[in-house]
Amino acid sequence: MTEKLGRDFFRRDAVTLARALLGKTLVKRTERGTVAAVVTETEAYTGVGDRASHAFGGRRTARTETMYLEGGYAYVYLIYGLYSCMNVTAAENGNPEAVLLRAAVPIGGFDTVWENLCRTSRKKSAPVRPPEDDLAAWAKLLDGPGRLSCALGITKADNASDLTGDMFFFRDDGYVPRRILSRPRIGIDYAGEAKDWPFRFTVASEGGVPLFDPPLL
DNA sequence: CTTCAGATGCTCT
DNA sequence: GAGCATCTGAAGA
Protein backbone atom coordinates (compact mmCIF):
# COMPACT_ATOMS: atom_id res chain seq x y z
CA MET A 1 0.00 0.00 0.00
CA THR A 2 2.71 2.48 0.93
CA GLU A 3 5.66 2.52 -1.43
CA LYS A 4 8.43 4.92 -2.34
CA LEU A 5 8.27 6.38 -5.82
CA GLY A 6 11.18 5.42 -8.06
CA ARG A 7 12.88 7.07 -11.00
CA ASP A 8 10.42 5.90 -13.64
CA PHE A 9 7.54 7.67 -11.91
CA PHE A 10 9.22 11.03 -12.54
CA ARG A 11 10.48 10.46 -16.06
CA ARG A 12 7.26 11.61 -17.67
CA ASP A 13 6.12 14.92 -19.11
CA ALA A 14 5.42 17.70 -16.60
CA VAL A 15 1.64 17.77 -17.10
CA THR A 16 1.29 14.04 -16.49
CA LEU A 17 3.61 14.24 -13.49
CA ALA A 18 1.81 17.27 -12.05
CA ARG A 19 -1.46 15.31 -11.97
CA ALA A 20 0.22 12.14 -10.72
CA LEU A 21 1.86 13.92 -7.77
CA LEU A 22 -1.50 14.96 -6.34
CA GLY A 23 -2.17 12.69 -3.36
CA LYS A 24 1.45 11.55 -3.06
CA THR A 25 3.25 12.06 0.24
CA LEU A 26 6.42 14.15 0.33
CA VAL A 27 8.75 13.00 3.12
CA LYS A 28 11.77 14.93 4.39
CA ARG A 29 14.10 13.69 7.11
CA THR A 30 16.40 16.09 8.93
CA GLU A 31 18.08 16.19 12.32
CA ARG A 32 15.21 18.41 13.41
CA GLY A 33 12.73 15.61 12.71
CA THR A 34 10.84 13.91 9.89
CA VAL A 35 7.96 15.67 8.16
CA ALA A 36 5.38 14.18 5.78
CA ALA A 37 2.73 16.01 3.74
CA VAL A 38 0.24 15.00 1.05
CA VAL A 39 0.42 17.14 -2.09
CA THR A 40 -2.81 18.93 -3.01
CA GLU A 41 -1.81 21.51 -5.62
CA THR A 42 0.77 21.54 -8.42
CA GLU A 43 1.74 23.48 -11.52
CA ALA A 44 3.38 22.07 -14.65
CA TYR A 45 6.14 24.02 -16.41
CA THR A 46 6.63 22.36 -19.75
CA GLY A 47 10.09 23.53 -20.73
CA VAL A 48 11.54 25.16 -23.82
CA GLY A 49 8.17 26.01 -25.42
CA ASP A 50 6.66 27.45 -22.23
CA ARG A 51 7.09 31.20 -21.87
CA ALA A 52 6.41 30.91 -18.12
CA SER A 53 9.30 28.50 -17.61
CA HIS A 54 12.74 29.61 -16.47
CA ALA A 55 14.05 27.35 -19.24
CA PHE A 56 12.00 28.94 -22.03
CA GLY A 57 13.80 28.81 -25.34
CA GLY A 58 16.35 26.41 -23.93
CA ARG A 59 17.84 29.01 -21.59
CA ARG A 60 20.70 27.46 -19.63
CA THR A 61 22.17 29.35 -16.69
CA ALA A 62 23.62 28.44 -13.31
CA ARG A 63 20.13 28.56 -11.82
CA THR A 64 18.23 26.65 -14.51
CA GLU A 65 20.85 23.93 -14.86
CA THR A 66 18.95 21.78 -12.34
CA MET A 67 15.88 21.75 -14.55
CA TYR A 68 17.80 19.85 -17.22
CA LEU A 69 18.33 16.85 -14.92
CA GLU A 70 16.20 13.81 -15.54
CA GLY A 71 12.95 13.40 -13.59
CA GLY A 72 13.03 13.07 -9.80
CA TYR A 73 15.32 15.86 -8.59
CA ALA A 74 14.45 18.93 -6.50
CA TYR A 75 14.65 22.29 -8.28
CA VAL A 76 14.54 24.91 -5.50
CA TYR A 77 15.00 28.63 -6.04
CA LEU A 78 14.43 31.82 -4.07
CA ILE A 79 11.63 34.18 -5.09
CA TYR A 80 11.12 37.81 -4.09
CA GLY A 81 14.21 37.56 -1.94
CA LEU A 82 12.29 35.72 0.78
CA TYR A 83 10.60 32.49 -0.20
CA SER A 84 11.76 29.16 -1.55
CA CYS A 85 9.82 27.45 -4.33
CA MET A 86 10.05 23.66 -4.50
CA ASN A 87 9.84 21.97 -7.89
CA VAL A 88 10.21 18.37 -9.02
CA THR A 89 12.05 17.81 -12.27
CA ALA A 90 10.21 15.81 -14.91
CA ALA A 91 10.96 14.04 -18.18
CA GLU A 92 14.32 12.80 -19.47
CA ASN A 93 17.81 14.12 -18.97
CA GLY A 94 18.24 17.30 -21.07
CA ASN A 95 14.52 18.12 -21.18
CA PRO A 96 13.89 20.98 -18.70
CA GLU A 97 10.35 20.23 -17.54
CA ALA A 98 9.36 20.66 -13.91
CA VAL A 99 6.42 20.65 -11.49
CA LEU A 100 5.96 23.35 -8.85
CA LEU A 101 4.50 22.20 -5.53
CA ARG A 102 1.96 24.82 -4.43
CA ALA A 103 0.12 23.24 -1.50
CA ALA A 104 0.05 20.18 0.79
CA VAL A 105 -1.52 18.84 3.97
CA PRO A 106 0.79 17.60 6.75
CA ILE A 107 0.10 14.06 8.00
CA GLY A 108 3.22 13.54 10.13
CA GLY A 109 5.90 15.45 11.99
CA PHE A 110 3.51 18.12 13.23
CA ASP A 111 5.97 19.32 15.88
CA THR A 112 8.65 19.99 13.29
CA VAL A 113 6.19 21.58 10.85
CA TRP A 114 4.94 23.95 13.54
CA GLU A 115 8.47 24.77 14.62
CA ASN A 116 9.47 25.53 11.03
CA LEU A 117 6.44 27.77 10.56
CA CYS A 118 7.03 29.60 13.83
CA ARG A 119 10.26 31.01 12.49
CA THR A 120 8.09 33.35 10.41
CA SER A 121 6.01 35.98 12.17
CA ARG A 122 2.49 34.84 11.15
CA LYS A 123 0.76 36.26 14.22
CA LYS A 124 -2.72 36.81 12.89
CA SER A 125 -3.41 33.86 10.58
CA ALA A 126 -2.57 31.18 13.18
CA PRO A 127 -1.47 32.49 16.56
CA VAL A 128 -1.98 29.10 18.25
CA ARG A 129 -1.20 25.60 17.07
CA PRO A 130 -4.28 23.83 15.64
CA PRO A 131 -5.24 20.35 16.90
CA GLU A 132 -3.86 17.57 14.72
CA ASP A 133 -7.29 16.50 13.48
CA ASP A 134 -8.09 19.99 12.15
CA LEU A 135 -7.06 19.28 8.57
CA ALA A 136 -8.44 22.54 7.20
CA ALA A 137 -6.32 24.61 9.56
CA TRP A 138 -3.13 22.71 8.74
CA ALA A 139 -3.93 22.78 5.02
CA LYS A 140 -4.11 26.56 5.20
CA LEU A 141 -0.67 26.74 6.79
CA LEU A 142 0.86 24.88 3.82
CA ASP A 143 -1.20 26.66 1.15
CA GLY A 144 1.21 28.43 -1.20
CA PRO A 145 4.67 27.48 -2.46
CA GLY A 146 6.48 29.73 0.02
CA ARG A 147 4.55 28.47 3.03
CA LEU A 148 4.86 24.84 1.90
CA SER A 149 8.63 25.10 1.60
CA CYS A 150 8.93 26.91 4.91
CA ALA A 151 6.79 24.35 6.76
CA LEU A 152 8.74 21.40 5.38
CA GLY A 153 12.10 23.07 5.92
CA ILE A 154 12.99 23.17 2.23
CA THR A 155 15.66 25.71 1.24
CA LYS A 156 18.06 26.44 -1.58
CA ALA A 157 20.39 23.92 0.07
CA ASP A 158 18.01 21.22 -1.19
CA ASN A 159 18.44 22.27 -4.81
CA ALA A 160 19.43 19.36 -7.06
CA SER A 161 18.70 16.78 -4.34
CA ASP A 162 17.86 13.32 -5.64
CA LEU A 163 14.24 12.62 -4.69
CA THR A 164 14.72 8.87 -4.96
CA GLY A 165 17.08 8.85 -1.96
CA ASP A 166 16.39 8.01 1.68
CA MET A 167 16.19 11.51 3.21
CA PHE A 168 13.93 13.33 0.79
CA PHE A 169 11.43 11.36 -1.31
CA PHE A 170 7.83 10.76 -2.32
CA ARG A 171 5.67 7.91 -1.07
CA ASP A 172 2.38 6.51 -2.33
CA ASP A 173 0.14 6.04 0.71
CA GLY A 174 -2.88 5.20 -1.45
CA TYR A 175 -4.66 8.56 -1.31
CA VAL A 176 -6.56 9.05 -4.56
CA PRO A 177 -7.98 12.53 -5.31
CA ARG A 178 -11.75 12.41 -5.70
CA ARG A 179 -11.64 15.15 -8.32
CA ILE A 180 -8.89 17.20 -9.92
CA LEU A 181 -9.50 20.79 -11.04
CA SER A 182 -7.31 22.43 -13.69
CA ARG A 183 -6.93 26.19 -14.07
CA PRO A 184 -4.41 28.70 -15.39
CA ARG A 185 -1.20 29.13 -13.46
CA ILE A 186 -0.54 31.87 -10.90
CA GLY A 187 1.74 34.89 -11.08
CA ILE A 188 2.90 34.57 -14.71
CA ASP A 189 1.17 37.52 -16.40
CA TYR A 190 4.33 38.11 -18.41
CA ALA A 191 4.06 34.73 -20.14
CA GLY A 192 2.05 35.72 -23.25
CA GLU A 193 -0.07 32.94 -24.71
CA ALA A 194 1.20 30.50 -22.07
CA LYS A 195 -0.41 32.42 -19.22
CA ASP A 196 -3.81 30.88 -19.95
CA TRP A 197 -2.67 27.27 -20.27
CA PRO A 198 -4.59 25.15 -17.69
CA PHE A 199 -1.49 23.69 -16.06
CA ARG A 200 -2.40 24.37 -12.42
CA PHE A 201 -3.91 21.28 -10.79
CA THR A 202 -5.82 21.22 -7.51
CA VAL A 203 -7.48 18.46 -5.54
CA ALA A 204 -11.13 19.48 -5.09
CA SER A 205 -11.87 20.36 -1.47
CA GLU A 206 -14.83 20.94 0.80
CA GLY A 207 -14.68 23.29 3.75
CA GLY A 208 -10.95 23.69 3.26
CA VAL A 209 -10.34 19.93 3.41
CA PRO A 210 -9.03 18.33 0.20
CA LEU A 211 -11.07 15.24 -0.70
CA PHE A 212 -9.36 11.88 -1.11
CA ASP A 213 -10.40 8.21 -1.21
CA PRO A 214 -9.77 7.10 1.42
CA PRO A 215 -10.04 10.40 3.32
CA LEU A 216 -6.91 11.83 4.98
CA LEU A 217 -6.52 10.88 8.63
C1' DC B 1 -14.71 41.06 2.72
C1' DT B 2 -11.08 43.85 -0.49
C1' DT B 3 -6.88 46.26 -1.99
C1' DC B 4 -2.03 47.74 -1.06
C1' DA B 5 2.79 48.38 0.13
C1' DG B 6 6.76 46.53 1.86
C1' DA B 7 10.03 43.03 2.82
C1' DT B 8 14.28 41.12 0.65
C1' DG B 9 18.15 38.75 -2.33
C1' DC B 10 19.32 36.40 -6.20
C1' DT B 11 19.48 36.01 -11.26
C1' DC B 12 19.97 37.80 -15.61
C1' DT B 13 20.57 41.90 -18.76
C1' DG C 1 19.36 47.99 -12.30
C1' DA C 2 15.02 45.55 -13.04
C1' DG C 3 12.11 42.05 -12.07
C1' DC C 4 10.58 38.14 -10.11
C1' DA C 5 6.34 30.75 -10.37
C1' DT C 6 5.15 35.21 -2.80
C1' DC C 7 3.31 36.39 1.78
C1' DT C 8 1.99 39.37 5.50
C1' DG C 9 -0.20 42.97 8.16
C1' DA C 10 -2.55 47.18 7.92
C1' DA C 11 -6.01 50.01 6.17
C1' DG C 12 -10.34 50.84 3.74
C1' DA C 13 -15.13 49.67 2.06
Q: How far apart are the first and last CA of chain A?
A: 15
pLDDT at A124 (0 to 100): 60
Q: How far is the CA of A125 from the C1' of C13 (A)?
A: 21
**Nearest residue to C7, CA vs C1'?**
A146
pLDDT at A123 (0 to 100): 60
pLDDT at A88 (0 to 100): 98
pTM over 0.85: yes
| Strand C contacted by A87 CB (< 7 A) | yes
Lowest mean pLDDT among A4-13, A123-132, A142-151, A180-189: A123-132
pLDDT at A128 (0 to 100): 85
Q: Are strands A205-206 and A200-203 parallel, antiparallel or unpaired?
A: unpaired
pLDDT tens digit sequence for A27-65: 999 988 999 999 999 999 999 999 999 999 999 999 999
Covered bases, chain C (protein CB within 7 Å): 3-10
